[in-house]
Amino acid sequence: MHEVMSKEDQGLMDKFLADNTLFLGPDPEIMRNHQLTPRSAMEEEILQKGIDPHQVHHIRGLLNSALGESFTMVNQMGAAPGAKWGDLVTGIYTAQGDLSMIAPNGIIAFAACCFYPIRFIMKNWVNDPTVGVKEGDGFIHNDARYGGIHNTDQSMMIPLFYKGELICWLSTTIHEGENGACEPGGLPASAESKYDEGIKMSPFKVVENFELKRDLVTFLQNSVRDPRLQLEDMKVKLHAVLRLRERVLAILDQFGRDALVGTLRHHLEAVEIEMRRRISEMPDGTTRVVQFMDSSLRESALQKISCAITVKGDRMIMDFRGSAPQFLNRSVNANIASFKAALCTGLLQNIWPDLPHTMAVLSPIEIITDRNSILDAEGEMPQAMSLMPLFKGCVVWTIPMNKFNYSLPKRYSAVIASQYDQAATFIYGGLTQHGDITGNFCADINGNGQGARSDADGEHSISPVFGFMCDTGEHEISEEDTPIIRLGAQRLAKDRIGWGKYRAGMGYEQIATARGSGLWGFMTGCEGSKFPSAQGLFGGYSCPAYQLLKIKDINIFKELEKNPNVVEVFDIVKLMNEQPIPNATYSSNDMGMTFELCNEGEIYMICQGSGGGYGDVLERDPKLVMKDLSEDLMSHENAKDIYKVVYDETSLVVDELATLNLRASYRKERIARGKPFDQFCAEWVEPEPPVNLPYFGSWGDPKVIYGTHIGQRIVMDGDKLQGMFMLNPKDVKISQLQAKIKELEKSAKSN
């Protein structure tokens, strides 16, 4: 019936549709495509002419130092705690919005997200007469649905024009923290829909003629708990990106438009070629890993992430089908663009850190997911705590890629087990001692323990999973700004170790209370209290489970006044086991906690975690075991029980022969108790998840997905996933208590 439209009619139709689109929401055409765009006409023309590799190298060096300079500006001037400790980036993009280069020390994932909003701006605002893209404009954005890790990160993006022509885009992004969500600090675990997540900036123009538009800034300040922070960092980001602009203009003046455009595009293509070359060095085949997240941050819920990496020639396919379905009313969902940014980060942090930090590393990789899964969430669902699946995405490479790459005659980086992958830090909010309202997070997030290496123990509290470049901050500074008082001084968490031939790097204890505020509270967004999170490699064990400990109903400052020696040492295990503070309520809880008020002097305690161990514990050099003992990293019980070393407890002198014999006999014990695999599977494997386990994801068959929806287990096809609606944990608790009351009343009557 339909006739082919003429070009003119098609144009009119397109214009009609564009004018009548009611809402320019996140655009799947943009958001689902992580690949480089085809060369633009300008890029094609320049690259066809050929470019001078020496000049490319030279310009790349100049761009790197310019990006580094603007990074340092934000790092030194930014008001957000995240800016101070390195949770930021500056980047340069092609005119089409492909991320070409980032500051050498910047957060990869942030920049790996900004090309989505830039593509959105190019598609929608350039030709829109009510918006437009002109010299001197700047655009802001924070909604992760349009590209981003989570809504607490805010970006400033500016187009760079040269002789009237759009040449490239520049950006800077900071983890700002506070963003006016239903809980302070920018990471609202209790968000039940996207409307609980605070300000939701689709990309819009907030700068004209190189100046912030005060009316819009005021609107944004009015939307968050920390208006001063909002203004200051918008200024900082703008000034840093303008400095970057000056530097790039100087490069353009010196080398010309073709040289810069050619360099940006060539850089991307060269990285893509290098990626394909490295993939083709790997063996053909498939390696697999499953990861488990054990909490929705509101209730315990075991969610699977299933990953199969297939290599065939220079193709790599990552298949995440079979992973958990998304939650409709829990914040631990991630959209696919955010998840890919985490993958890009993880590849550059864990596998090939020597590759340039650009989106082109991910471009040649094909990624397959189930729509509406926890890592490809769509719709109105909240995703404020997307960090949970995203951190898994950062480390998901470590095990399957090491199984591919161990054999290679040329290797590019060390073999390392998984880093600890939880956001183990206090998020806070309330009134400061200066009377200001604030909300943010502590830099302790940046101290994840490193996984063990094939030839050495992991480093303690090395960095966050999303960047090598972040520091763990200084508590004296945050104590001047907030009522948070640190009672423990970041001691390493003894015995909480990923064991192995080489042990993982450990995490430190964080013991916090509040003083001098009328209204203060904490939250934590962490999993791994039932099911350990950081996986070991080649026979190494994972990290342990971690808990959140509380000492409530006391004021530690009053207790210390009464008796300065009431607490001998602020050590979590000692405090909890010995319970030295009289009349306090001690409790051990899941690591995930929605915002909770902390009265003056009440104590909250968590740990940064250990990475995964490497290799068989019986192969650990007894000297290293003694070293761990002498550094008080572990107890004698574990030295003997886990590592099977015979030694003198006082002198720490090892009885080598006795150790050899003990280990040999323990290997025999293993052989005696182990069962042949097929027999073991026949006895052990169940057809579906245990009935009492709130399980989400596939079990055996990746196409069959289990979930719990409105309190009932359901089974779905992987390609027809629906979101899971969770009951209010308080309602669940109330109905449990009501049932108990009924039972008690019944038995009282019958007596």
Partner 1 sequence: MNVLITEYLRINLDTEKWECRCCGNVHGSARDNYKRGLLVYDRDPSEIHKPLLDIKKYDRTYAPDPTWCRILEYYCPSCGVMVEAEYLPPGHPPVRDIELDIDSLKLQWKDREEVKELVSAPDLALQKVKLQREIHSKIHNHSHDGEHDHKNGKTL
- Contacts of partner 1 in 406-465 (CB under 8 A): 406-416, 434, 450, 453-456, 459, 462-463
The least distance separating partner 1 from the CB of residue 247, rounded to whole angstroms, comes to 19
Task: Report in angstroms how near the CB of residue 302 gets to partner 1 at its nearest.
Answer: 6
Pick the binder of partner 1 from 668, 733, 742, 746 (CB under 8 A): 668
Q: Which is nearer to partner 1, 260 or 470 (CB)?
A: 470
Q: How many other C-beta atoms lie within 10 A of the C-beta of residue 520? A: 24
Distance CA 58, CA 36 (A): 23
Tell me the window of 133-141, 165-173, 420-428, 675-683 that interacts with partner 1 (CB under 8 A).
675-683
Binders in 550-569 for partner 1, by CB under 8 A: none
Nearer to partner 1, 151 or 529 (CB): 529
Identify which of 596, 421, 427 has the alpha carbon closest to the alpha carbon of residue 504.
Answer: 421
Residue 466 CA, distance from chain mean position: 6
Size, binding site for partner 1 by CB under 8 A:
122
To the nearest 10°, the Cα dihedral for 462, 465, 471, 474?
A: -90
Per CB under 8 A, the segment of 145-153, 287-295, 388-396, 710-718 that binds partner 1 is 287-295
Residue 660, interface with partner 1 (CB under 8 A)? no
Distances (CA, A) of 197 to 34, 80, 113, 178, 227: 25, 19, 19, 11, 17
| Contact stretch for partner 1 (CB under 8 A) within 150-158, 264-272, 379-387, 528-536 | 528-536
* Contact criterion met (CB below 8 Å) for 288 and 400: yes
- Subset of residues 310 to 339 that bind partner 1, contact rule: CB under 8 A: 312
What is the distance, to the nearest Å, from the Cα of residue 634 to the centroid of all Cα atoms in its chain? 29
Q: Which is closer to partner 1, CB of 3 or CB of 354?
A: 354
Distance CA 324, CA 337 (A): 17
CB nearer to partner 1: pick between 184 and 400: 400
Q: Does 23 bind partner 1 (CB under 8 A)?
A: no
- In the numeric block, which tokens belong to residue 664? 């040999």
- Chain length of the chain: 751
Could you give the string, one character per residue 233-272, with x where binding to partner 1 holds by CB under 8 A and - elsewhere? Answer: ----------------------------------------
DSSP structural state of residue 402: H
Q: Pick the closer one to partner 1 by CB: 29 or 686.
A: 686
In angstroms, rounded to a whole number, what is the distance separating the alpha carbons of residues 461 and 73? 26
Q: Which of 138, 439, 536, 723 binds partner 1 (CB under 8 A)?
A: 536
**By the 8 A CB rule, do 685 and 694 touch?**
no
For partner 1, which residue of 54, 677, 749, 750 counts as binding (CB under 8 A)? 677
Least Cβ distance, residue 721 to partner 1 (angstroms): 20
Q: Which is nearer to partner 1, 194 or 663 (CB)?
A: 663
496 binds partner 1 (CB under 8 A): yes
Nearest-approach distance from CB 342 to partner 1, in angstroms: 16
Least distance (Å) between residue 440 CB and partner 1: 10
User: Which region among 112-120, 228-236, 268-276, 596-604 touches partner 1 (by CB under 8 A)?
Assistant: 228-236
Of 63-122, which residues contact partner 1 (CB under 8 A)? 72, 75-77, 79, 84, 86, 105
Strand pairing class (704-709; 712-717): antiparallel
Where in 103-259 does DSSP place strands (E)? 138-141, 153-162, 165-175, 204-208, 211-212
CB of 402 to partner 1, least distance (A): 8
Q: CA-to-CA distance for 692 and 604, rounded, in angstroms? A: 30
- Output the CA angle 600-601-607, nearest 5 degrees: 120
Instruction: Report the C-alpha gap between 206 and 735 in whole angstroms.
Output: 49
How far is the C-alpha of 211 from the C-alpha of 229, rounded, in Å?
Answer: 18
Whole-angstrom Cα distance, residue 61 to residue 165? 24
In sequence order, the β-bridge partners of residue 367 are 318
Residue 455 CB, shortest distance to partner 1, in Å, is 7
Main-chain dihedrals φ then ψ at residue 2, nearest 5 degrees:
-70, 130
Binding-site member from 283, 379, 582, 729 for partner 1 (CB under 8 A): 283
660 CB neighbour count, 10 Å cutoff: 13
How far apart are CB 219 and partner 1 at their closest, in Å? 22
Residue 341 identity: A
Cβ atoms of 74 and 174 within 8 Å: the answer is yes
| Shortest distance, position 672 Cβ to partner 1, whole Å | 9
Does residue 152 bind partner 1 (CB under 8 A)?
A: no
Query: For partner 1, which is the closer residue by CB, 122 or 238?
Result: 238
Query: Which segments of 304-451 does DSSP mark as H helices, in order?
Result: 336-346, 387-395, 398-405
